[in-house]
Amino acid sequence: MTDLASLSISAIREGLQSKQFSCVELTTAALDKAEKLRSLNCFIELSRTAALEDAKQIDSLLKAGKQAPLLGVPVGIKDVICTKGVRTTAGSKILENFIPPYDATVVRKLKIAGTVSIGKLNMDEFAMGSSNENSAYGPVKNPWNPEFVPGGSSGGSAAAVAAGICPITLGTDTGGSIRQPAAFCGIVGLKPTYGRVSRYGVIAYASSLDQVGGFASNVRDCALVIQAICGQDPNDATSVNQPVPDFEKSIGQSVKGLRIGIPREYFVSGLESETESALRKAIATIEGLGAIPVEISLPHTELAVSVYYILAPAEASSNLARYDGIRYGHRASGDLDLKTLYSRSRSEGFGKEVQRRILVGTYVLSSGYYDAYYLKAQKVRSLIVQDFQNAFKDKCDVILAPTAPDVAFKLGERVSDPLKMYLNDIFTIPVNLAGLPGMSLPCGFTSNGLPIGLQLIGKPWDEATLFQVASAYESATEWHTKKPSMNA
């Protein structure tokens, strides 16, 4: 019997049009599989009643001959993205009872495209983490091996796709939070250019870095979900009026003559040997398709993590100041004076990692330290941007690199070592600092069966070339066809 929840978007389209199954049956299959795989802890909230009601309406539209790009496709939404009438917690106790009165722009766009939202996906609290162990609702487990992390902060989004619960999900990426979990879970994930997708209705972590993107089990499906959410939004001053190409048209195009930049700073001693071997084979495969590998240098790469952990916490300190126990969110009980109410509400509501980053951010913004840390970090960020500009101007069309220095690690293994955890994002953070589009796709497995991710980095607004190169590589390999046993 066909596992409806594991179907690709093209198979869903075909099945719905030919009446092999209904949208209600498809949605029920996704919800049932989510329940069956509750042990993975992908979802914070499942919306069974609302999803089945939406599915009934879509079946009526299908019967009337209506069409939409993603009509009837089940989707999961990262719990940092507001959904009208559906609890949205950002993975935090401080928002455990928050029900937004409106939809985020990306949610509204997915509804217009015809998707059915089945629920809200687990995540690191306020998107702060690389392992999805910082959630107030418990860690997410990797479908390839439940003893390992799925990556973070969008761990629930990646795990739900890898487990075959739904074909596409939304996540956010501030320093690698789409690409790193995509790599750890063996699927495709793309962070668009900063400003390509509206952030309206996305609970802010670091506003100059956050960007919404998508996950899928293959490149074409990823292109379709990204297509649906792109475009300028008058509600978001940082969204940019840039033409949105038809990303699906990039699928299947030749890569002959494209220059693929290989940054020497990304192939260093800290790179795990099996990861490097898989990457080298991927480079050879793409070269065999007619692309031209070119060694490039991104000399300020080693400073990116330090810059990020000054700038992102600084912005978080400002953005999270609104959670004070007064207006909304968790409020400490008792007859407390104002200062004690603030302190106790925030101490009870925020987890340790969020508290750590708020404290760091407040420190670097404080009088006497602003110039020494925050201002200096902004200047180094400009140098990182220039590194990419120089590479794309003269040397290459797209950059190929590891997504992470190693693969998924065991649950609990790095919780007590924040620095080691932070270094896991060393290859993804520079892309956010420069505002560039970045994608991860599977390129192999370790000897113990864990996925390895390949990262593609593009010029600003050039997601199309990423889809072009990714689809060419995907067509020449079989990594995307490998599924964990629960999605075999």
Distance of CA 408 to the CA centre of its chain: 16
Query: Both ends of the chain: CA-CA distance in Å?
Result: 12
In-domain check, residue 40: yes
Q: With contact defined as beta carbons under 8 Å apart, do 329 and 95 qualify?
A: yes
Residues 143-194: pLDDT tens digits?
999 999 999 999 999 999 999 999 999 999 999 999 999 999 999 999 999 9
Q: Which two tokens stand for residue 182?
A: 């995509």
Q: Does residue 359 carry a pLDDT above 70? A: yes
In-domain check, residue 344: no
Catalytic choice (153, 154, 440, 471):
153
Question: Which domain covers residue 89, as residue numbers?
Answer: 4-251+463-487
Pairing of strands 74-78, 168-172: parallel
Q: Does residue 371 carry a pLDDT above 60? A: yes
Phi-psi sector, 286: left (phi>0), alpha (psi -120 to 50), beta: alpha
Distance CA(472)–CA(464), nearest Å, equals: 12
Residues 129-154: pLDDT tens digits?
999 999 999 999 999 999 999 999 99
What stretches of 254-397 adopt beta strand conformation (E)?
Answer: 259-263, 292-296
Q: Provide the percentage of residues in the chain whose pLDDT is more than 70.
A: 99
Helix (H) or strand (E) holding 105: helix 105-113
Predicted pLDDT at 177: 98
Q: Which two tokens stand for residue 317?
A: 């300190």
In-domain check, residue 387: no
Q: Which two tokens stand for residue 160?
A: 């739900």
In-domain check, residue 109: yes
What distances in angstroms separate CA 40 from CA 36, 117, 138, one per listed residue? 9, 19, 10
Q: Does residue 449 carry a pLDDT above 90? A: yes
Sign of CA dihedral 197, 200, 203, 207: positive
In-domain check, residue 267: no
Pairing of strands 398-402, 451-457: antiparallel
Q: Which CATH number fits the domain that encloses residue 69?
A: 3.90.1300.10
Distance CA(447)–CA(426), nearest Å, equals: 24
Helix (H) or strand (E) holding 318: helix 304-319
With the CA atoms of 355, 356, 357 and 359 taken in that order, what torsion angle do they form, in degrees rounded to the nearest 10? 80
- At 43, the amino acid letter reads F
Residues 94-120: pLDDT tens digits?
999 999 999 999 999 999 999 999 999
Distance CA(56)–CA(63), nearest Å, equals: 11
The tally of domains found in the chain comes to 1
In-domain check, residue 13: yes
Identify the CA nearest to 460 among candidates 67, 208, 192, 264: 192
Distance CA(280)–CA(152), nearest Å, equals: 25
Q: Does residue 1 carry a pLDDT above 60? A: no
| Residue 423 banded pLDDT, cuts 50, 70, 90 | confident
Catalytic choice (33, 78, 109, 459):
78
Residues 36-76: pLDDT tens digits?
999 999 999 999 999 999 999 999 999 999 999 999 999 99
In-domain check, residue 101: yes
Residues 229-268: pLDDT tens digits?
999 999 999 999 999 999 999 999 999 999 999 999 999 8
Catalytic choice (92, 177, 217, 440):
177
Q: Is 198 a catalytic residue?
A: no
Q: Map tokens 């220059």 to a residue.
A: 259
Predicted pLDDT at 270: 81
Q: With contact defined as beta carbons under 8 Å apart, do 440 and 179 qualify?
A: yes
Kindly give, in sequence order, each residue whose CB lies less than 8 Å from that of residue 307, ignoring residues fewer than 6 positions away.
377, 380, 381, 384, 429, 433
Distance CA(107)–CA(229), nearest Å, equals: 8
Q: Provide the percentage of residues in the chain whose pLDDT is more than 90.
A: 94
Angle at 27 between CA 21 and CA 33, to 5 degrees: 110
In-domain check, residue 427: no
Distance CA(424)–CA(180), nearest Å, equals: 8
Q: Is 447 a catalytic residue?
A: no
Radius of gyration of the chain (CA): 21
Q: Is 92 a catalytic residue?
A: no
Q: With contact defined as beta carbons under 8 Å apart, do 143 and 185 qualify?
A: yes
